Structure 1
Amino acid sequence: MLTGRHPDFMRDKDNTIVSDFFDELQWRGLVAQTTDESALRQALADGPITVYCGFDPSAPSLHFGNFVQLSVLRRMQAAGHHVICLVGGSTGLIGDPKPDAERVLQSKDTIAESVDRIKTLVGPLLDFDGDNPATLVNNLDWTAPLSALDFLRDIGQHFRVNTMIRKEAVARRLESEQGISYTEFSYQILQAMDYLQLFRDRGCTLEIGGSDQWGNITAGVDLVHRVEGKTVHALATPLLTDSTGRKFGKSEGNAVWLSADMTTPYAFYQYFLNTEDASVISLLKALTDLPRAEIEELERQVEEEPFRRAAQRTLAEQVTTLVHGQAATDAVKAASEALFGKGDVSALDANTLRDATSELPGAQVQPGAELVDALVAVGIADSRNAARRLVTEGGVSLNNVKVDSVTVVLEEKDYLHGQVALLKRGRKHLAAARMPS
């Protein structure tokens, strides 16, 4: 739970309070652009202000890319500002235009289910119960009662088509043979209306989002100014990209989901554990609550002792704990040690074992099969002769116990939780002999 106005992650390397919250965001790489940096700095310093961020329910989970905005909201709340998390029950029914093709509209029931799942996901990441509780809203609550005539008269009149078509995704679609439907073209009006509603109802004066949402975000800033004559703020965070330069997200096919049933805690942990040296410090800054001094020490270790991968281990532990909790982090760490170290694989619970072995190479192997045949079946050895040689040389283990005889037979008790027997050659070549279904 977040408490206090100045948490540890707002202290510099001398353990003094960072005086400018905006400077902290910049140091952590969380600022791509703003509407007016000087005015926003002053508003944050004078605070508290009310800030909101919207999340799209077109998928049943948030993903790693969304975690950047959640990280900003966490910091805003911990600094004493008032946080609103908006789930787009109405905008999700429309879909933000993609630059290359029309979206397939999802049913109202599907979007409603995704809204409920996302509400559950953000619960542990923000404080909804303390002295400065976060607020969760659904834009369907104020959009659904609005008639088409009222929408066009009261909201639509403030938008100019020549401005709307300059949005990159819209412009690219207009140049294509497919064009763009009026439905998707209207998306930016709906999102802008959210800012106006939250300004009126809750005094919200800052919207944050990814830099790919800048056109939609500034449409809201402009709408508040046109309708209410007031100046409000916007802040865009940089888009996180993978090693190929692609942004993280469901439309890119490389999403790392925050829901455990879409990306298991083990896979989630392993993803961050495998972060490249070139990216790990920037992710530590953006995604974790670690203070500056600790991150700078990890940066030194990346430069001087990269083989230890201390920064990657810290990143994986910190982010997995934030998203899935300490118990899940402890379980996946134990699984990693058991699979790739000398830990006790028999101590792993059934779910963790399943998750940890799901991506391993392997094959179905009947109980009663000779070990040498199992080694060939799972791909550890090319032939029975090669398998015998590996065993004779002491290079094979079964469930982390060295095998010293070529006559060993796999028994039912060797299949942990009745699922899998782990076969290993050396320390790094691991495969799964799976119980036939």
Structure 2
Amino acid sequence: MNFVEELRWRGLLHDIMPGTEEELAKGMVAGYIGFDPTADSLHVGSLLQIITLVRFQQAGHKPVALVGGATGMVGDPSGKSQERNLLSEEILHHNLKGIQAQLERFLDFDRGANSAEIVNNYDWFKSFTFLDFIRDVGKHITVNYMMAKDSVKKRLESEVGMSFTEFSYQLVQGYDFYYLWKHKNCVLQMGGSDQWGNIVTGTELIRRKDGGQAFAITSPLIKKSDGTKFGKTEGGNVWLDANKTSPYQFYQFWLSASDDDAANYIRIFTFFDQQEIEGFIAEHSKVPHQRNLQKILAKDITERVHGVKALETALKTTDFLFGSGSLDFLRSLTDNEVFNVFEGIPQFEISRPDFVNGYDALTLLADKTSIFPSKGEARKMIVGGGVSLNREKLGDVDKVFTVLDLINNQFLVAQKGKKNYFLIVVK
């Protein structure tokens, strides 16, 4: 199965320029995708394009990842309702380093002729003067052509309008394509469907400026089955950086997908073949309550992004919070890893000097924390068998907890009912 056929059956082909399939059939082709350095980490919304480059390389072609050190200073208006804040050169440099490190985890840079390559468009724009740009690039693309693009039309018709900076973006991105075509023999640009106008501007510039030919492929923008935006949670973006989104949270994001979304995501984000995926979906449909499709999806992507060890931690965290995992798991973690396990879970801090003589259960749960609004309510639930501390059912309201009970000499884990966790931190 060739690259385009692979995209087609996975539902990842939105637009393709005529002649692209024929060009790819001739032999190895260099193609690129651009990545926006608005943060120092990519997020799951970028994952489709990263995986597209990996598929492209697996099909025998040469992937080029462009990190936009120059375009990041301008800001792409595509899909935006208003102009974003421009970043300083220092912040951009920091962001670019983080993104480059992430891309290097996915792509193969030691495959001979089709080894991956990372480029930064700041390298060819830093000495390109404004006058040179409008003379050598701007004269080849008319304002009429630029204004016909949907991304420009929508912004011009909106109340906020569009700055000249953003209006020029498609020329800047178009020149990227021209430069890579000219100097890297890069004849294909890929991206999301919202990038079609910018990509086509590049092919047009190549044609008008040098009489050359280049090609384009875009993939559909991913949405959840309920129509909401993919990749967002209550906490914001789901990042590929473990310091921004812990491997456990990352795993849970995929595990919580609906059946319809999981069936879609497993085609998009994994490398299982068509027969395997159809088998997974068929087996899942027999016992959907077991969420086996979601588990396969979450395991595969978490391991690919964060590695085997991080996946194991995510699985053990899931078992601890929702299964029968023991305290030995927490004892094996560093303090920061414990905090990651309980990220998003209510936490209470007690000073160590105050904890020298310990506290009885009622004082600990009601006075020193607000796990219960009153000692009366705490007592009632303890007597009813609904409270656990450090995974042990609490039956004695007078039981005293001291530093000897602390996990890693710092933590107490309280449970109210089966699923309501609280972390007590003694510092």
- TM-based fold match above 0.5: yes
Q: What corresponds to 2:340 in structure 1? A: 355
Number of the residue aligned with 1:372: 362
- The yes-or-no answer on 1:112 pairing with 2:93 is yes
How many angstroms apart in 2 are the aligned matches of 1:248 and 1:419? 38
Instruction: Write the letter of the residue equivalent to 1:92.
Output: G
Residue 28 of structure 2 is matched in structure 1 by 48
Q: What does the per-residue CA deviation read over 1:24-45, in whole Å, with 9 as the maximum and x for residues that have no partner?
A: 2112121111122xx2222333
1:282-339: per-residue Cα shift (whole Å, max 9, x none)?
1111111222233222212332211111111111111111111111111111111122
Q: Which residue of 1 aligns with 2:153?
A: 171
Tell me, yes or no, if the aligned pair for 1:83 and 1:134 is still in contact at 8 Å: yes
Alignment of 1:3-402 (within 5 A): 18=1, 20-36=2-18, 39-97=19-77, 99-131=80-112, 132-242=114-224, 245-248=227-230, 254-348=236-330, 349-350=333-334, 351-365=336-350, 367=355, 368-376=358-366, 381=372, 383-402=374-393
In structure 2, C-alpha distance between the alignment counterparts of 1:269 and 1:409, rounded to whole Å: 37
Q: Distance in 2 between matches of 1:271 and 1:410?
A: 35
Read off the aligned partner of 1:24 and give its amino acid letter: E
Residue 430 (1) aligns with residue 421 (2): yes
Call closer, same or farther: CA 1:101–1:21 in 2, change over 3 Å: closer
Partner deviation per Cα, 1:74-128 (whole Å, 9 max, x = no partner): 1111121101011000000111126422221111111111111110111111111
Q: Note the C-alpha offset of 1:248.
A: 4.3
Report the Cα distance in structure 2 between the residues aligned to 1:327 and 1:172, rounded to whole angstroms.
46
CA distance in 2, matches of 1:145, 1:419: 55
Q: Does the CA-based 8 Å contact 1:342-1:400 persist in structure 2?
A: no
Tell me the distance in 2 between the aligned counterparts of 1:279 and 1:260.
Answer: 23
Judge conservation of contact 2:225–2:260 (CA < 8 Å) in 1.
no
The 3-state SS of whatever aligns with 2:359 is: coil
User: 1:253, CA displacement in angstroms?
Assistant: 8.4
CA RMSD of aligned residues (A): 2.3
Letter in 1 for 2:260: A
State the SS of the aligned residue for 2:137: helix
Please tell me the residue identity of whatever aligns with 1:127: D
Q: Could you say which residue in structure 2 is the equivalent of 1:4?
A: none
How far residue 381 of structure 1 moved from its aligned partner, in angstroms, is 4.6
CA contact (8 A) 1:379 1:431 kept: no
Please list every run of 5 or more consecutive structure 1 residues that lacks an aligned counterpart in the other structure.
1-17
Partner secondary structure for residue 205 of structure 1? strand
Deviations 1:370-423 (CA, angstroms, capped at 9, x unpaired): 223444476665543343343334333222233332222332343433443211
Is the CA contact 2:248–2:314 (under 8 Å) kept in the aligned structure 1? yes
SS at structure 1 position matched to 2:302: helix
Per mean C-alpha deviation after superposition, the further-off stretch among 401-410 and 186-195 is 401-410
- Partners of 1:303 and 1:321 lie apart in 2 by 25
Q: Distance in 1 between matches of 2:116 and 2:404?
A: 50
Conserved 8 A contact 1:99-1:170:
no
CA contact (8 A) 1:302 1:309 kept: yes
SS in 1 for 2:221: coil
Letter in structure 2 aligned against 1:196:
Y
1:249 to partner: Cα distance:
6.8
Q: Please say which of residues 171-180 and 276-285 is displaced more in the overlay.
A: 171-180
Deviation at 1:369, TM superposition (A): 2.9
Q: CA deviation at 1:347?
A: 2.6
Residues 245 and 379 (structure 1), Cα distance of their counterparts in 2 relative to 1, 3 Å cut: farther
Offset at residue 135 of structure 1 (A): 0.3
Give me the TM-score of the superposition, normalised by structure 2: 0.90
Percentage of pairs with the same residue: 38
> Alignment partner of 1:358: what SS?
coil
1:57, distance to aligned residue in structure 2 (A): 0.5
Residues 363 and 85 (structure 1), Cα distance of their counterparts in 2 relative to 1, 3 Å cut: same
Distance 1:365 1:243 in 2: 44
Q: After alignment, is 369-378 or 335-344 more displaced?
A: 369-378
Alignment-derived partner of residue 13 in structure 1: none
- Secondary structure in 2 aligned to 1:423? strand
CA distance in 1, matches of 2:159, 2:198: 24
Q: Cα offset for 1:269?
A: 1.2
Residue deviations 1:251-293 (CA, integer Å, cap 9, x gap): x984211112221222111111111112001111111122223
Read off the aligned partner of 2:237 and give its amino acid letter.
A
